[in-house]
Amino acid sequence: MAAFSVNGQLIPGTSSSTSICTRRKLLSLPSSGLPRISSPSPRVPSIKCSSSRDTEAPPKHLLLKNLAVASVSSAASFFLFGISNLPSSFLSSGGGGGGGNGNFGGGGGGGGDGGFWGKLLSPAPAVADEEQSPDWDSHGLPANIVVQLNKLSGFKKYKVSDIVFFDRRRQSTIGTEDSFFEMVSIRPGGVYTKAQLQKELETLATCGMFEKVDLEGKTKPDGTLGVTISFAESTWQSADRFRCINVGLMVQSKPIEMDADMTDKEKLEYYRSLEKDYKRRMDRARPCLLPAPVHGEVMQMLRDQGKVSARLLQKIRDRVQKWYQDEGYACAQVVNFGNLNTKEVVCEVVEGDITQVVIQFQDKLGNVVEGNTQVPIVRRELPKQLRQGYVFNIEDGRQALRNINSLGLFSNIEVNPRQDEKNEGGIIVEIKLKELEQKSAEVSTEWSIVPGPGGAPTLASFQPGGSVTFEHRNIQGLNRSLMGSVTTSNFLNPQDDLSFKLDYVHPYLDGVYNPRNRTFKTSCFNSRKLSPVFTGGPGVDEVPPIWVDRAGVKANITENFTRQSKFTYGLVMEEITTRDESSHIAANGQRLLPSGGISADGPPTTLSGTGIDRMAFLQANITRDNTKFVNGAVVGERNVFQVDQGLGIGSKFPFFNRHQLTLTRFIQLQQVEEGAGKPPPPVLVLHGHYGGCVGDLPGYEAFVLGGPYSVRGYNMGELGAARNILELGAEIRVPVKNTHVYAFAEHGNDLGSSKDVKGNPTAVYRRMGQGSSYGVGVKLGLVRAEYAVDHNNGTGALFFRFGERLTTKETKNILFGDLSIRFEMVDAITGFIVGKMGDYLIKEASMLMTVKDDQEEPVVGFEDDFKLRLAKLLDDEGDGGKRYIISIFGMGGIGNTALARKLYNLGDIKRRFEYRVWTYVSQDYNTRDMLLRIIRSLGVASGEELERIKMFTEEEELEAYLHDLLDGRSRTRGRALPCNHGWESPCS
């Protein structure tokens, strides 16, 4: 399946499925009569050196068509298996023609040796072209009579209506699924001459697969000819041993043809020399990767079969190759079965040894350029197994894609394996990279919503807020970056609420060549957030808010132990100022008096008692996250431990230790089949959070209880503020159609430590200090509707929440910027339209994989909307195989592009859509330029071809070129085109 993307809009299309059978061709073999067996197509998706799992390439695209050669003598005999359906980018060398005269693999030929594969494989004899003229001649004979081949006319072209394979030993016909059927190049519906049919019989008779084989025709009333091929299969002595060897990178010796005039003594010497060469070759070969269980399966086949037969060898070949393909060794291929005149079956495999890894930088047109990024930065991200001396594995290629993409330096990444023409059987891995612009800037707008009565979202202000962001990435080509942002909640009067942040990131602190992965980061910041510490409990009149301003610097070092575990430690120095609604410094919390006035005699807001604190402290955090997605559901475990240690530097010399431990388990309750469109499993979520502090504790740093990310059913901080807290929660998620329902129970407790907070804000604002809740919920598009029971009052209420209940405050802050204070409207998508699309024809991609900001991430706040679109994209049937456009509508900056890109980069989408293209179309677009960009993105990168395309003056010419270029290359898989836009009307 191919995929387009224009501005984030996905357009899948499914054309009628067409089964294309690869024509299996055989060579004539020497008179000793050993068989050649064609090899089936490797079944690995999205890999340049093999065909797709889901479809074979059309015949006109095949470079090699399962050719086979056998070298035979009385002392040493070989089975050579062809490699099928390998794209020209991987097998680029060609070979000369071969006549196949029966003398050690066929004589004749010319036009180049074709490299390694050309020496192993020889072209097949001429067979009927199924794409030739449809004209054919009637046999002109009575119907239903058997006609010997030599009785047919040499001047007629016969149409073959059906082919029957008859096994004389079994006295039965065989089906098309039989491996022998693959050996026949003629096909029902084809038109053939007598000479071509005779050549087919000659090929079968000399291939060594059969002791005897005949071909005869049967006349049909409609003038066509039915063909019956009767055969007796060849067999060899039984074997009691099996051996698998890797013959990759071994120089192939050119066989010396045996002269027909040799004496018996000369022939004997000739055979002995062949045997010596074969033994030397076997001694130099390396053991293959085949595991012991598969080896045992093959041995069982040998014991069950008795004598070795061609069918048995085909079964062994298929089992061996299946293991390689299942394990991701996409370039591995069985190429030969060694000496069959012994009690040992030797299976020779070319596994695809990596001889070189080449890193190239490209410009926007695909031309090779000198990149800004230093090559060691890329090489250190490659898996150990994707280096010289290892066997190429597609999973290592995908891991390399993910690792390189995580650098955030490239807009396009390709990992392409190809044949090493200098080292026979070797693989060169090419990594092609297109760098992002080093400098970028953007402006985004937003409207803030806050939780209102009952948790209902309420618009905070009609005045838009937003941010201005700039970034200078990859400084000096070492992945260092400088990022800055200025944010305000009121673009009309930014001076009222202006915050900034400036970050500098310096990776590879110990050097690019040092395997230790440490990153230094420093930042200066100024932020303002609403404090939930100074808020009222149940029945208390509204408490005037206290805002907390923080300004300071932070420096830390993050060390990644593994991709799941990291350790961060550093120093924070900041000035904290508490303010009231009028932005005046507030040294104490406020409360409303019965007279309507405001009293400022509440709990002290700062440690110094002046409303301004200055402090320095050390901070450390260790995280281990082993979660993964199973059909969209999160399963696994996540642990976070954080410590803040005061240094006694600052106002009142603060010395404290503040620590938190968060444990979360996502337990899969039912095993399900994983794959695109499969339902997620039910999941039990267990969550525990402990927080504690000893020493000096200012009020704004107290732990708060209550709220959607603490104990649901209560407002933020409604239960209390304490030195020590314990939160426990459990939630069970059950999938239903297009969404899921869940039930939860949660409890929060201050462990009696509320009174130890300076001024005891819990008692002042009449809060309980503990509380429990339970309830049920359902996802309704972007909103989580929950009915939660407040166990303290015994009353329930309906709440509407945006986004997910995150498990840690740290994760919440990373994703949302402290949603406990402000809900940012990042998930307001206003429509979902599905419509029919025209007949888009997509060119087959010429790359292993393409990554554009390709990082699959959890979709927080978009789960149901995400799943709805995902289900539509993964729908094989659709509405009768019609195409769809999936549009994501909404004003700019609210997450449309993010959702489209998450869909575009999702693993299920990649597996379902074999080829994808992402491109941008502005509101004032030019159709001609858009078509040129799409054509270039589909692999037309040669300068000569691009110049020819640019000469087209009419859009219709480009459309016709694109249609002709792509027609017929994506018959069995769909096309997807993500599109995100804020236009008033649907994009064309």
DSSP state of 755: G
Same domain, 870 and 953: yes
Higher pLDDT, 855 or 682: 682
Average pLDDT in the 233-257 region?
81
Same domain, 834 and 799: no
Same domain, 403 and 506: no
User: Is the model's pLDDT at 189 over the cut of 60?
Assistant: yes
Instruction: Give the count of alpha carbons within 13 A of 589, CB side only.
Output: 27
User: Is the model's pLDDT at 750 over the cut of 90?
Assistant: yes
Residues 896, 885: Cα–Cα separation, whole Å:
15
Tokens at residue 928, please? 């001609």
Beta strands 410-420; 426-435: pairing state: antiparallel
DSSP state of 677: T
Residue with tokens 């760098």: 435
User: Is the model's pLDDT at 401 over the cut of 50?
Assistant: yes
Higher pLDDT, 781 or 821: 781
103 within a domain of the structure (yes/no): no
b/e per residue, 120-140, with b = 16+ CB within 10 A? Answer: bbbbbbebbeeeeeeebeebe
Q: Are 682 and 735 in contact (CB under 8 A)?
A: yes
Amino acid occupying residue 967: D
Same domain, 800 and 663: yes
Q: Are 615 and 649 in contact (CB under 8 A)?
A: yes
Same domain, 495 and 382: no
User: Is the model's pLDDT at 358 over the cut of 90?
Assistant: yes
Q: Are 112 and 94 in contact (CB under 8 A)?
A: yes
pLDDT attached to residue 309: 84
Residues 988, 9: Cα–Cα separation, whole Å:
11
pLDDT attached to residue 469: 92
Residues 103, 714: Cα–Cα separation, whole Å:
89
Beta strands 225-233; 157-167: pairing state: parallel
Write down which residue in 201, 235, 269 finishes a domain.
235
User: Is the model's pLDDT at 845 over the cut of 60?
Assistant: no
- CA 374 vs CA 389, 504, 512: distances in Å: 23, 19, 10
907 pLDDT band, cuts 50/70/90, is low
pLDDT attached to residue 11: 31
Q: Are 306 and 237 in contact (CB under 8 A)?
A: no
Higher pLDDT, 532 or 845: 532
pLDDT attached to residue 68: 29
pLDDT attached to residue 972: 36
- Burial (0-12, 13-18, 19+ Cβ within 10 Å), 877: exposed
Q: Residue 628, Cβ neighbours under 10 Å: how many?
A: 11
Write down which residue in 293, 324, 350 finishes a domain.
350
- Burial (0-12, 13-18, 19+ Cβ within 10 Å), 820: buried
DSSP state of 832: E
Same domain, 816 and 838: no
pLDDT attached to residue 10: 32
Average pLDDT in the 394-401 region?
92
User: Is the model's pLDDT at 33 over the cut of 80?
Assistant: no
pLDDT attached to residue 953: 64
Q: Residue 626, Cβ neighbours under 10 Å: how many?
A: 14
- CA 943 vs CA 798, 844, 940: distances in Å: 63, 20, 9
Classified as helix, coil or strand, 342 is: coil
User: Is the model's pLDDT at 106 over the cut of 50?
Assistant: no
Q: Which of 774, 832, 827, 831 minimizes the C-alpha distance to 803?
A: 827
> Helix %, strand %, coil % for the chain, to 5?
20, 35, 45
Same domain, 297 and 382: no
726 within a domain of the structure (yes/no): yes
Average pLDDT in the 457-462 region?
70
H-run or E-run covering 287: strand 286-287
130 within a domain of the structure (yes/no): no
Same domain, 722 and 618: yes
Same domain, 363 and 508: no
Output Rg (C-alpha) for the chain, integer angstroms.
Answer: 36
Residue with tokens 């050719």: 67
580 within a domain of the structure (yes/no): yes
Tokens at residue 663, please? 């444990």
Lowest-confidence range among 567-576, 594-603, 765-774? 594-603
User: Is the model's pLDDT at 538 over the cut of 60?
Assistant: yes
DSSP string, 912-949: H-S----B---SS--HHHHHHHHHHHTT---HHHHHHH
Residue 928, φ and ψ in degrees, nearest 5: -60, -45
Within 674-828, residue ranges assigned H as helices are 761-764, 809-816
865 pLDDT band, cuts 50/70/90, is low
175 pLDDT band, cuts 50/70/90, is confident
Contacts of 443 by beta carbon, 8 Å cutoff, 6+ apart: 466, 467, 468, 469
3-state secondary structure 500-560: EEEEEEECCCCCCCCCCCEEEEEEEEEEEEECCCCCCCCCCCCCCCCEEEEEEEEEEEEEE
Residues 144, 138: Cα–Cα separation, whole Å:
14
Lowest-confidence range among 288-292, 781-785, 939-943? 939-943
pLDDT attached to residue 121: 33
pLDDT attached to residue 539: 66
Q: What is the pLDDT of residues 513-524, one digit of tens each?
A: 898 889 999 999
pLDDT attached to residue 794: 84
pLDDT attached to residue 872: 60
pLDDT attached to residue 406: 87
137 within a domain of the structure (yes/no): no
User: Is the model's pLDDT at 647 over the cut of 90?
Assistant: yes
910 pLDDT band, cuts 50/70/90, is low
pLDDT attached to residue 232: 84
pLDDT attached to residue 596: 63
Same domain, 794 and 916: no
User: Is the model's pLDDT at 955 over the cut of 90?
Assistant: no
pLDDT attached to residue 306: 81
Same domain, 376 and 483: no
Q: Are 732 and 684 in contact (CB under 8 A)?
A: yes
Residues 529, 818: Cα–Cα separation, whole Å:
8
Q: What sign for the dihedral angle of Cα 976, 977, 982, 988?
A: negative
Highest mean pLDDT among 590-599, 619-628, 670-679: 619-628
Residues 887, 831: Cα–Cα separation, whole Å:
8
Q: What is the pLDDT of residues 560-596, one digit of tens each?
A: 988 889 999 999 999 999 998 888 899 998 876 766 6
DSSP string, 442-474: EEEEE-EEEE-GGG-EEE--SS-EEEEEEEEEE
- Burial (0-12, 13-18, 19+ Cβ within 10 Å), 302: buried
Residues composing the chain: 988
Highest mean pLDDT among 112-126, 271-285, 712-726, 920-934: 712-726
323 within a domain of the structure (yes/no): yes
User: Is the model's pLDDT at 862 over the cut of 60?
Assistant: no
Q: What sign for the dihedral angle of Cα 586, 587, 589, 594?
A: negative
Lowest-confidence range among 233-237, 285-289, 376-380? 233-237
Average pLDDT in the 969-985 region?
39
Higher pLDDT, 850 or 325: 325
Please tell me the total count of domains within the chain.
5
List 64's β-bridge partners, or say none.
none
Average pLDDT in the 740-753 region?
94
Please report, for the domain that includes residue 736, its CATH number: 2.40.160.50
Residues spanned by the domain of 310: 239-248+285-350
Same domain, 607 and 675: yes
- CA 11 vs CA 841, 872, 882, 979: distances in Å: 12, 10, 11, 8
User: Is the model's pLDDT at 619 over the cut of 70?
Assistant: yes
Q: Residue 177, Cβ neighbours under 10 Å: how many?
A: 7
Please report, for the domain that includes residue 213, its CATH number: 3.10.20.310
122 within a domain of the structure (yes/no): no
Residues 113, 103: Cα–Cα separation, whole Å:
18
Residues 532, 707: Cα–Cα separation, whole Å:
10
pLDDT attached to residue 463: 76
Higher pLDDT, 29 or 978: 978
Higher pLDDT, 334 or 967: 334
453 pLDDT band, cuts 50/70/90, is low
56 pLDDT band, cuts 50/70/90, is very low
pLDDT attached to residue 947: 65
Higher pLDDT, 569 or 308: 569
Lowest-confidence range among 185-189, 351-355, 839-843? 839-843
Average of per-residue pLDDT values in the chain: 73
Q: In what order do the strands lie in the sheet with 448-451?
A: 457-459, 448-451, 823-824
Average pLDDT in the 165-169 region?
84
939 within a domain of the structure (yes/no): yes
Residues 54, 493: Cα–Cα separation, whole Å:
58
Q: Are 917 and 844 in contact (CB under 8 A)?
A: no
- CA 641 vs CA 336, 573, 730: distances in Å: 57, 21, 20
pLDDT attached to residue 802: 67
